[in-house]
Amino acid sequence: MTQREANRKLGGIVQLDDAYLGGERNGGKAGRGSENKRPFVIAVETTEDGRPLRAVMDPVPGFTKAALSEWIGQRLHPGADVYSDGLGAFRALKPSTRTR
């Protein structure tokens, strides 16, 4: 099952977002600047009426165009209709990308 999930590509309508996971450290930076949090990409393929079909959540080295371009090639079918919050690095997506 793990291998099957590792090769899953999402298509159609895909909602995409960034996240950071990790514990809180006393005296450390909060939010995106925290050195003890790991960046993740979360993507959900939905029906036209917004119901979730499939989801993936993967760690990435960072939210750079290079890192996200690689992730996109591994996880999204060409021509996917992608919606995101407009994070600058998501501009690595193809022209079919829409942001909200």
What is the arithmetic mean of pLDDT over 19-26? 77
Query: Would strands 38-46 and 81-84 be described as parallel, antiparallel, or unpaired?
Result: unpaired
What is the arithmetic mean of pLDDT over 22-36? 66
Which pLDDT value is given to residue 40?
94
Look at the alpha carbons of 22, 18, 1, 66 in this order and tell me if their dihedral is positive or negative: negative
Average pLDDT, whole number, for the chain? Answer: 82
The model's pLDDT over 42-83, given as tens digits with 9 standing for 90+, comes to 999 999 999 999 999 999 999 888 898 899 899 999 889 999
Calculate what percentage of the chain has a pLDDT beyond 70: 72
Secondary structure of 3-51 as H, E, C letters? HHHHCCCECCEEEEEEEEECCCCCCCCCHHHCCCCEEEEEEEEECCCCC
- The better pLDDT of the pair 79, 3 is held by 79
